[in-house]
């Protein structure tokens, strides 16, 4: 059973994790949302302490489909520190994909062990690994082996993102992960079954912190796994309040970034200043143009339709927003977007 599985490795590297402020703020990995272009816009208007890429299939990265997936691992120097997130149910796929992550000079690798998406679980990754703890540790071991660069000896840190259980709260699962002495563990405070249908269980965070300190009592406080809380955090101030109340080291924000690439603008001071409709529309247009230029050329990396989930978030909260949003839902290019928006600026 879970409690009888031993640690994979005694003391993995920490690197950038050791120098982060408290609490620190990180951006969640979201497929077709936190792509390199959206992160570029975010970097310009308000950078988090750590970026995550979109979550990417390790199996796909080592297959004939690698070329199609590599754009998901593109990043810009100003985004550092940046962590690549991979998912798989196959240790060998993870090992080879981790080698690629190391070659691409990422600052860290994160393993997705919590995604509730059925397609991800069908491949044995994401939340499915909570039901197979032995396999989860094999994948962690493979990742740690893969990131040890044979070229320059660099060994980037491997972290994990998970949930508090599959069908029900399972702190034995969290205990197991804490035994691995990870540099960082992100805990989405809901079960797989709960999806996002109930409020996140932030009241469980103190118990997770207590478990961390108990399990890692042989380590100095500065060497213990950093715990990142995730769930229902949409503002910096809310994140600060939760970190202060429940004791986690960092806060991960996901849906709060939709339509607000400036969210982390004043991350060390407080919430970003509200943006006027005109400012929001200018940034929307900038985002759309960058997206089209980077992804919608001859190679057709991504469909322009992906931008429409951003349009819904950018355009809200003022008179006429609903009507403009409806018009944006039928555009086919950045040029169409500009025709609609330019007269309003």
| pLDDT for the residue numbered 276 | 95
| pLDDT for the residue numbered 117 | 92
Q: Does residue 30 share a domain with residue 173?
A: yes
Residue 272 included in any domain? no
DSSP conformation class of 316: -
Q: Name the residue among 294, 328, 289, 336 with its Cα closest to residue 312.
A: 328
Residue 270 included in any domain? no
Q: The domain spanning residue 228 has which CATH number?
A: 3.20.20.70
Which is the catalytic residue, given 84, 86, 100, 115?
115
Tell which of 257, 286, 312 closes a domain.
Answer: 257
Residue 94 included in any domain? yes
Q: Does residue 127 share a domain with residue 40?
A: yes
| pLDDT for the residue numbered 12 | 54
Q: Does residue 158 share a domain with residue 306?
A: no
| pLDDT for the residue numbered 113 | 98
Strands 158-163 and 184-188: parallel
- Maximum Cα interatomic distance, the chain, rounded to a whole number of Å: 65
Residue 108 included in any domain? yes
| pLDDT for the residue numbered 270 | 77
Do residues 44 and 218 make contact, with C-beta atoms less than 8 angstroms apart? no
For residue 210, give its domain range.
Answer: 2-257
Bridge partners (DSSP) listed for residue 113: 162
Q: Does residue 298 share a domain with residue 250?
A: no
pLDDT of 28-76, one tens digit each? 999 999 999 999 999 999 999 999 999 999 999 999 989 899 999 999 9
Tell which of 257, 287, 302 closes a domain.
Answer: 257
For residue 248, indicate whether it is catalytic. Answer: no
Residue 262 included in any domain? no
Q: What angle do CA 195, 55, 112 make, to 5 degrees?
A: 60
Q: What does the alpha-carbon distance between residue 245 and residue 59 come to, in Å, rounded to a whole number? A: 40
Q: Describe the strand order of the beta sheet including 226-230 as a list of residue ranges.
A: 24-27, 250-253, 226-230, 184-188, 158-163, 108-113, 82-87, 51-57
Q: Does residue 211 share a domain with residue 110?
A: yes
Residue 56 included in any domain? yes
| pLDDT for the residue numbered 293 | 95
Q: Does residue 35 share a domain with residue 145?
A: yes
What is the token pair recorded at 340? 């609609």
| pLDDT for the residue numbered 138 | 98
Q: How many domains does the chain have?
A: 2
Cβ atoms within 10 Å, residue 229: 27
Helices and strands (H and E) in the chain: how many: 13, 8
Residue 267 included in any domain? no
Do residues 33 and 53 make contact, with C-beta atoms less than 8 angstroms apart? no
DSSP conformation class of 196: T
Using CB atoms within 10 A of its CB, is residue 343 exposed (0-12), middle (13-18) or buried (19+)?
exposed
Do residues 184 and 159 make contact, with C-beta atoms less than 8 angstroms apart? yes
Q: Does residue 242 share a domain with residue 326?
A: no
Q: Name the residue among 262, 205, 258, 260 with its Cα closest to residue 230.
A: 205
Strands 226-230 and 184-188: parallel
What's the CA dihedral at 190, 196, 197, 203 to 10 degrees?
A: 30
| pLDDT for the residue numbered 10 | 44
Residue 144 included in any domain? yes
Side-chain-side CA neighbours of residue 216 (13 Å) = 29
Q: Does residue 290 share a domain with residue 250?
A: no
Q: Does residue 321 share a domain with residue 180?
A: no
Segments of the chain with pLDDT less than 50: 1-6, 8, 10-11
Tell which of 222, 257, 292 closes a domain.
Answer: 257
Q: Does residue 250 share a domain with residue 146?
A: yes
Q: Does residue 308 share a domain with residue 251?
A: no
DSSP 28-85: PP-TTTS-HHHHHHHHHH---SBEEEEEEEHHHHTSTTHHHHGGGG---GGG-SEEEE
Q: Does residue 329 share a domain with residue 250?
A: no
pTM: 0.94
């Amino acid at each position: 059973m879970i409690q009888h599985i031993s640690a994979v490795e005694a003391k993995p590297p920490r690197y950038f994790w050791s120098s982060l402020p408290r609490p620190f703020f990180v951006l969640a990995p979201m497929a077709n949302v936190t792509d390199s272009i959206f992160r570029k816009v975010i970097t310009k208007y308000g950078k988090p302490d750590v970026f995550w890429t979109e979550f990417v299939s390790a199996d796909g990265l080592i297959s004939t489909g690698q070329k199609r997936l590599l754009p998901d691992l593109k990043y810009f120097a100003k985004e550092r520190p940046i962590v690549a997130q991979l998912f798989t149910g196959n240790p060998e796929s993870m090992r080879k994909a981790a080698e690629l992550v190391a070659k691409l000079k990422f600052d860290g690798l994160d393993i997705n062990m919590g995604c509730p998406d059925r397609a991800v679980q069908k491949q044995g990754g994401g939340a499915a690994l909570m039901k197979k703890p032995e396999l989860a540790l094999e994948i962690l071991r493979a990742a740690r082996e893969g990131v040890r660069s044979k070229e320059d000896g660099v060994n980037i840190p491997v972290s994990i993102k998970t949930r508090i259980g599959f069908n029900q709260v399972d702190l034995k699962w969290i205990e197991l992960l804490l035994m691995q002495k990870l540099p960082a563990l992100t805990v989405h405070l809901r079960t797989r079954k709960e999806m996002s249908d109930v409020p996140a269980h932030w009241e469980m965070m103190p118990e997770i912190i207590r478990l961390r300190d108990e399990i890692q009592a042989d380590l100095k406080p500065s060497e213990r796994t950093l715990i990142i809380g995730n769930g229902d955090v949409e503002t910096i101030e809310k994140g600060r309040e939760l970190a202060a109340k429940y004791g986690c080291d960092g806060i991960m924000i996901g849906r709060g970034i939709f339509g607000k690439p400036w969210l982390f603008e004043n991350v060390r001071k407080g919430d970003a200043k509200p943006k006027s409709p005109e400012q929001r529309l200018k940034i929307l247009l900038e985002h759309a143009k960058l997206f089209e230029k980077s992804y919608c050329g001859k190679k057709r990396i991504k469909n322009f339709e992906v931008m429409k989930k951003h349009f819904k978030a950018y355009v809200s909260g003022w008179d006429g927003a609903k009507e403009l949003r409806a018009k944006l839902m039928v555009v086919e290019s950045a040029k169409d977007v500009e025709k609609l928006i330019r007269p309003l600026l």
